[in-house]
Structure 1
Amino acid sequence: MFLHAGIILIIIAVTFAIGNYFKLGTELAMLLSALAAAIYHTGGLPVRHLVEGAFTYYDVSLIFITATLFINLVKESGGIVFMVRKIIIRFHEHRYLTLLFLTFILMIPGALTGAGAATVLTVGTLVGTVLVYMGISETKTAAIIFVCASMSAAAPPINLWAMMAAAGANMPYVGFMQPLFIITSIGALFTMFFLGSKGENPELEKILAELPEPPAEMNWFRVGTPFLILIILIVAGRLFPFKMPILGLPLMFLIAASVMFILSPKKLNILNIAGKTIRSLIPLVGIMIVVGILIQIMALSGARGLISLAIVTLPVWFLFASLFLILPVSEGLLQYAVAPLIGVPLIFLFNMKGFNPVITLSAMAVMWPLGDILPPTAVVGRATVIELNYQGRYYKDFLKTCLIPMGFILALCTVFLVFSNQLSFLVGG
Structure 2
Amino acid sequence: METILFFLIISMFFILTFLKFPRGVSFFLISMVSLLVVTHRIDISILVEGAFGYFDAVLTVLTAMMFIVAIEKSGLLKHIAEFLAERFSAKPRLLLLLTTILAMSGGMITGSSSASVLTTGAVAFPVFTSIGLNRKKAGILIAISSVLGMIAPPVNIQALVICEGVDMPYVGFTYPLLWLTIPTALIISLFIGGRDVRRPKTQKNITFNAKDLVLYIPLLLMIILSILDSYGLIQIGLPMIFFLSSIVAILSSGKKRDFFQISITALEQSLPVLAILVGVGMLIQVMTLSGVRGLIVANMLFFPYSFLFLTVGLGVPLFGAISSYGSASVLGIPFLLAFRGGNDVLIASAISLLAGIGDMLPPTALATTVSAQVVGLDSYTQIFKGSVPFLAAIGVFSVVSIIYSSRLSQFFANSWWLWGIVAIIFIFAVSIDIVYSKRK
Return closer, same or farther for 1:224/1:18 CA change in 2, 3 Å cut-off. same
C-alpha distance in structure 2 between counterparts of 1:334 and 1:78, whole Å? 32
State the match for 1:381 in structure 2: 368
Identify the match of residue 183 of structure 1 among 180, 184, 190.
180
State the match for 2:230 in structure 1: 238
Moved more, 249-258 or 196-205: 196-205
Letter matched to residue 356 of structure 1 = N
Contact 2:332 2:348 in 1 (8 A): yes
Contact 1:136 1:198 in 2 (8 A): no
Instruction: Give the 3-state SS of the residue equivalent to 2:114 in structure 1.
Output: helix
Contact 1:176 1:427 in 2 (8 A): no
Instruction: Give the 3-state SS of the residue equivalent to 1:310 in structure 2.
Output: helix
Return closer, same or farther for 1:340/1:214 CA change in 2, 3 Å cut-off. farther
| Residue 8 (structure 2) pairs with residue 22 (structure 1) | no
Structure 1: where are the runs of 5+ without partners?
none
C-alpha distance in structure 1 between counterparts of 2:34 and 2:48, whole Å? 15
4+ aligned runs moved over 4 Å, structure 1: 213-218
Return closer, same or farther for 1:25/1:294 CA change in 2, 3 Å cut-off. same
Q: Deviations over 1:81-100 (max 9, x none)?
A: 00000001111110121012
Return closer, same or farther for 1:342/1:136 CA change in 2, 3 Å cut-off. same
Moved more, 178-187 or 306-315: 306-315
Aligned-pair distance for 1:287?
A: 0.8
Structure 2: where are the runs of 5+ without partners?
416-440
C-alpha distance in structure 2 between counterparts of 1:286 and 1:18, whole Å? 19
Q: TM-score, normalised by structure 1?
A: 0.91
Aligned-pair distance for 1:267?
A: 2.6
Q: Deviations over 1:15-42 (max 9, x none)?
A: 3333334332222222211111111110
Contact 1:165 1:340 in 2 (8 A): yes
Aligned-pair distance for 1:227?
A: 2.0
C-alpha distance in structure 1 between counterparts of 2:118 and 2:401, whole Å? 31
User: What number of residue pairs does the alignment pair up?
Assistant: 414
Instruction: Give the 3-state SS of the residue equivalent to 1:423 in structure 2.
Output: helix
Identify the match of residue 403 of structure 1 among 360, 368, 388.
388
Contact 1:13 1:33 in 2 (8 A): no
| Residue 352 (structure 2) pairs with residue 355 (structure 1) | no
C-alpha distance in structure 1 between counterparts of 2:316 and 2:17, whole Å? 20
C-alpha distance in structure 2 between counterparts of 1:177 and 1:21, whole Å? 37
Two-structure CA RMSD over aligned residues (Å)? 2.2
State the match for 2:43 in structure 1: 46
Aligned-pair distance for 1:245?
A: 4.0
Moved more, 381-390 or 85-94: 381-390
Identity %: 29
Aligned-pair distance for 1:216?
A: 8.2
Contact 2:13 2:322 in 1 (8 A): no
Aligned-pair distance for 1:270?
A: 1.8
Contact 2:61 2:274 in 1 (8 A): no
C-alpha distance in structure 2 between counterparts of 1:119 and 1:41, whole Å? 39
| Residue 199 (structure 2) pairs with residue 199 (structure 1) | no
Contact 1:12 1:37 in 2 (8 A): yes
Letter matched to residue 359 of structure 2 = D
C-alpha distance in structure 1 between counterparts of 2:384 and 2:364, whole Å? 14
C-alpha distance in structure 1 between counterparts of 2:301 and 2:287, whole Å? 17
Aligned-pair distance for 1:44?
A: 0.4
State the match for 1:293 in structure 2: 282
Contact 1:187 1:408 in 2 (8 A): no
Aligned-pair distance for 1:233?
A: 1.6
Return closer, same or farther for 1:299/1:322 CA change in 2, 3 Å cut-off. closer
Aligned-pair distance for 1:208?
A: 5.6
